[in-house]
Amino acid sequence: MYVCVCVVCVCARVYMREREKRRERESVCVCVRVCACVCVCMRERERVCVCVCVLMRAYACACVQAGPCSAPAPLRAQTADVKREDVLLTRLAFGSCNKALLPQRVWGAVRAKAPQMWLWAGDAVYLGGDQPGNLEEAFEAQGQQVGYQQLLSDNIIVDGVYDDHDYGGNDAGKHFASRAQSQQLFLDFIGVPGDSPRRKRKGTDDLLTTRRRMST
């Protein structure tokens, strides 16, 4: 009679415990259950063996505690900087990467679409080279572009944000020394009132609301 331990099998199971009502994760467990199979063969080379598998009652469980699933923080309520209840916004135009001292034929095409709002999406002006040497001069030069003046005369809403070139220079960031001045110059350029809350915040973002639907 030939006796051998021929198989050792390991069974793993992963499960998660949850609270039924609040559905909060308590822990993630990986359990390993070990069973050993002992085979008894009548002969050493016998192909058919009688195997008895003994299930080990003891098993190891490794659990990783996981904190409760918390909901994302609610969005902070924000008061609109500008409310235009007289406008039902349906047509918006936007542009960027503009050089104040170059010909600007684009404004005729923009006006032909009769937008209600124009958004500067960054780099409204550039500095250096064939362009003005500072932001104040650059914004003034852009304001003197005839096509842009005609767009403003259409009683259009103008808004936007700056990027690096209309902030202070190529790839200028938070360490730019004149960032506060750049902010004020940009807000002057797009016509933000001096008492606007935007004047006291960092950056140039804002919240503008218009009428939601047609009046009945």
- Domain segments of the chain as ranges: 2-65, 82-210
State the pLDDT at residue 100: 96
The token pair at 147 is 């096509």
pLDDT: is 23 or 158 the higher one? 158
**What are the tens digits of pLDDT across the range 19-59?**
444 444 444 454 544 444 445 444 544 444 444 444 444 34
Element (DSSP H or E) covering residue 213: none
Mean pLDDT of the chain: 75
pTM over the 0.85 mark: no
CA distance 205 to 157: 15
Select from 127, 70, 117 the least CA-distant residue to 95: 117
pLDDT value of residue 59: 41
Read off the pLDDT band of 65 (50, 70, 90): very low
Q: What amino acid occupies position 64?
A: V
Angle in degrees, CA 13, 65, 67, rounded to 5: 125
pLDDT digits (tens, 9 = 90+) for 169-198: 788 878 788 889 999 999 999 999 999 989
Query: Between residues 108 and 175, which one has the greater pLDDT?
Result: 108
d(Cα 25, Cα 17) in Å, to the nearest integer? 6
SS3 (DSSP) at 44: coil
Contact status, residue 63 vs residue 188, Cβ threshold 8 Å: no
Gap between the Cα atoms of 164 and 176, Å rounded: 10
- Res 161 pLDDT > 60: yes
